[in-house]
Structures are given as C-alpha cells and as structure tokens.
Structure 1
Amino acid sequence: MPKFTANLSMLFTELDFLDRFKAAAEAGFKGVEYLFPYDYSVEQINQRLKANGLEQVLHNLPAGDWAAGERGIACHPDRVEEFREGVDKAIEYATALGCKQVNCLAGIKPAGVSEQQARQTLVENLRFAADKLEAAGILLLAEPINTRDIPGFFLNGTEQALDIFDQVDSDNLKLQYDIYHMQIMEGDLAPTIEKHLARIAHVQLADNPGRHEPGTGEINYPFLFQHLDRLGYQGWIGCEYKPKTTTSEGLGWLDSAH
C-alpha cells in the first residue's frame, strides 16, 4: 500500500505555511515534504510536526535565489562555496527535524558555461554532498525535471541522472523520480521505474497536462500505484501537484489509492 506525503509547498496553499501541517494531518497524511524549511526556525517546524503526528520526509538543499527564478546552483561552477555552505545548513535542519533524506536541485545551466563544465561541477558537488550527508546519516537525492516547466534545467532525464550518479560513485546518492516530470520528458513510466527501482528512493506525482491531482489527466495512476506495490517499493510518494480547485476538494483520488 503506497505511503503518501503532502507537499506543503503546493497543497493547502490557501493557509499560512505553518498552518498547512495541521491541514495535512486532518486530510490523513502521515508525512510531509516541501521545498525549503529555511525561512522558519527548527523549533517552529518541529512543534507543528509533533503536534500533528507527522514525519518530515523530505526537503531540498538551499537552491539559490528562488524568488529571482533560480532553481538550484549545483551545476554552477562559480557557486561551489555557496553550495557547500548550503549542505551544512541542510544537515543542520534535517538532523533537527528527523528528516532522513534531502534533495539536490541541479539548477539551470548558466549562460557561457559548457555542458561539460556544468556536468563536472554537478558531479563534484553531488560527491561532496553525498559524503557529508552520509556522515550525518542522511540520504542525498537528486531529481530530473522537465525543461518545459523549467527551460534549461540541467538534469532532465533518468538515464542522464543515473549516468552522472555512476560518475559520482556514492552509495549515498539515489534518484528522486517525479512521475509528472518524466512523463513529459520520456514517458515509459512503468518499465523505467521497474528497471531502476533499486536506485529510486523517493517518488513524486502530479498528472499531465496541468500538473494537477491524479485523475485529471492522461497518467494511469491506479495502474502505477499497483505497479509500485507489485515491485515492492517501500518509499514514500510525494503529492507535488497544483490542486485543480482546492486541495480538500481534490483529495478523492487518495481514498481510492489506499
């Protein structure tokens, strides 16, 4: 039976961030994830987690200036020191929140930087982060993202990501497989998940087109949930979608998924 997390960066957004924890618990979620915790104190977030019986499943490494359109800096050759400082900050938060995995956003390849420069920077940053996180007992994830929603995003396919992971050569680096992004970029979802299941530590979902909840688009989510069960997937599935109306009105799919 799948275990679902509420992505609080996209669900219950009519509420202030710290109030979304209670809403997620009341909707039946046992775990939460979101982009970043860093605008809040550890104490603020921990209080909401404990009060609502929630597990902190995932958050991202710091990813540059999000409000200005940056979507990660791990492939930026001139931002390595900033990236490393972000790893330390992520470890501080993840440790205090009991979060056992964090995701690295590769970022948009900067103008004037070659493909090879960007790749080598990403490899070295992932190796650094994987080692430091392993020492702290935290798993590093990295996620391919579609280039329609984020033009120029450097890490954008499953095989590309795993080829880079092979170069990093760390047992503490796994794939975050986002069904929505990979449906857009490559399709062939079920065989890809099956082929690479041992390297997938976290799954995320949204339907396509629209990035709304399951059942609003073309992806056969009942089949994929059964497929993950058959394969013995033990991780969480993050609900990272934009509700078509409100979060609560669009949660009918969740009841049928259990």
Structure 2
Amino acid sequence: MPRFAANLSMMYTEHDFLDRFAAAAADGFRAVEYLFPYEHPAAELRARLDANGLVQALFNAPPGDWAAGERGIAALPGREAEFRAAFGRALEYAGVIGNDRIHVMAGLIPADADRARCRATYLENLSHAAGAATAQGITVLVEPINTRDMPGYFLNRQDEGQAICKEVGAANLKVQFDCYHCQIVEGDVSKKLQRDFAGIGHIQIAGVPERHEPDLGELNYPYLFDVIDNLGYQGWIGCEYRPRAGTSDGLGWIKPYLKR
C-alpha cells in the first residue's frame, strides 16, 4: 500500500508554513516533505512534527542563492567549499528533525560550460556528501529534473542519475524518482521504475502536464501505484504538486488509499 507525504512547499499554501503541518495531519497525512527548512529553527520544525504525529520524509540541502535563481551548487566548479558547508548545515537540521533523506540539487549549467568538469565536480561533491551522511544513517538523493520547468539543469534523465550514483559507488547515494519529471523528459514511467528500482531512494508524483493533482492529466497513477507496490517499495511517496484550488478540496484522489 502506498504511503504518501504531503509536500508543504506546494500544498497547503493557503496556510502559513508552520500551520501546514497541522493541516496535512488533519487530512490524514502521516508524513511531510518540503524544499527547505532553513528559515525556521530545527527544533520548531521538530515540535510541529511531533505535535501532529508526522514523520519528516525529506528536505533539500541549501541550493545556493535561491532568490537569485540558483538551483543547487553541487555541479558548479569552484564552489566546493560552499557545498560542503551547506551540506553540513543540512545534516545538522536532519539530526534534529529526524529525516533520513536529503536531496542535493545539481545546479544550472551555462550552455558553454565544460560539462566534463561539471560532472567531475558533481561526483566529488556527492562522494563527500554520501560519506558525511553515513554516520547519521542518511541517504543522499539526486533528482533528474525536466528541461521545461528548469532549463539548464545539469541532470535530466533517469539513466544519467543512475550512472552518477553507480560511479560514485556509495550505498547511501540514490536517485529521487519524480514521475512528473520522468514523464516530461522520457515517458515510459512504469518501465523506468522497474528497470531502476534498486537505485531509487524516494518517489514523487504530480499530474502531467500542469503539475496539479495526480488524478489530472496523462499519467495513470492508480496503475503506477500498483507497479510501485509490486516492486516492494517501502518508502514515502511525496505529493509534490500544486493544487488546482484548495488543497483539502483536491484530495479526493487519495482518500481510497488513506482508508486502506
């Protein structure tokens, strides 16, 4: 049976961020994820989780200057020291909040960049992150992101993500498989899940093409949930979508799963 985590960066935005935990729990969610925790003290976030009986499934390491348009620094040569400090901060937060997954964003690469150098930087930084995360039992994740929503992002395809993880060779480095991104870039989502399952560390969903509820659009999620169940996936499935209207009003799709 699939287990779902509400993504509080996209869902429940009708509430202030710290109030989204209670709103998600009231609707039946037992886990949450979000992009970044760093605007709030880790202890306050842990208190919200505990007060609402929630598990933290995932958050991202600091991505550089998000407000200025940066989307990660792991594949940006010359910023290795900044990456290490940022990942250390993520580990500190995880130590308090209790999640065992941290997503590391690769970054936007200029068209004229030396991709081989970027890839070498990416491998070096991921190796460092995986090693640093081992003591806390944390899995580091990389995520292929589609070129429509994030042009210039370094990592776009599932096979590329799997190849990166295999080259680094760390047991706690895996791919974050977002069905939305995969469908836009490659399609054939169920076969990709089956092919790469051993290297998948987290799964996310959204309707395609508009990134609304997963019962809207071109992907047949009830079928995909059965595929995921049959593969033996035990992790959380992150609901990383933008509700078309109010979040709670759009949750008809999940009610059959919450009742099981």
TM-score (norm 1): 0.98
Report the CA distance between 1:112 and its aligned residue: 4.5
Q: Within 2, Cα distance between the matches of 1:182 and 1:231?
A: 18
Q: Within 2, Cα distance between the matches of 1:77 and 1:239?
A: 32
Residues 34, 58 of structure 1: 8 Å contact kept: yes
Residues 180, 206 of structure 1: 8 Å contact kept: yes
In the other structure, the counterpart of 2:82 is: 82
In the other structure, the counterpart of 2:256 is: 256
- Which amino acid is the alignment partner of residue 232 of structure 2? G
Report the CA distance between 1:111 and its aligned residue: 5.6
Q: Within 2, Cα distance between the matches of 1:169 and 1:109?
A: 24
In the other structure, the counterpart of 1:53 is: 53
**1:200-228 deviation digits (Å, cap 9, x = unpaired):** 11100001110001111010001001111
Report the CA distance between 1:110 and its aligned residue: 3.8
TM-score (norm 2): 0.97
Residues 157, 185 of structure 2: 8 Å contact kept: yes
Report the CA distance between 1:256 and its aligned residue: 2.8
The answer for unaligned runs of 5 or more in structure 1 is none
**1:177-217 deviation digits (Å, cap 9, x = unpaired):** 00000000000100110111111111000011100011110
Equivalent runs, 1:101-140 vs 2, <5 Å: 101-110=101-110, 112-140=112-140
Q: Within 2, Cα distance between the matches of 1:59 and 1:99?
A: 8
- Which amino acid is the alignment partner of residue 238 of structure 1? G
Query: How many equivalent pairs are there?
Result: 258
In the other structure, the counterpart of 1:183 is: 183
In the other structure, the counterpart of 2:141 is: 141
**1:88-110 deviation digits (Å, cap 9, x = unpaired):** 10110001111111011111114
4+ residue runs over 6 A deviation: none
Helix, strand or coil at the partner of 2:248 = coil
**1:208-250 deviation digits (Å, cap 9, x = unpaired):** 1100011110100010011111111111100000001111111
Residues 225, 257 of structure 1: 8 Å contact kept: no
Q: Within 1, Cα distance between the matches of 2:227 and 2:162?
A: 22
Helix, strand or coil at the partner of 2:140 = strand
- Percent identity of paired positions between Structure 1 and Structure 2: 53
Q: Within 2, Cα distance between the matches of 1:229 and 1:54?
A: 22
Report the CA distance between 1:166 and its aligned residue: 1.6
Q: Within 1, Cα distance between the matches of 2:167 and 2:148?
A: 27
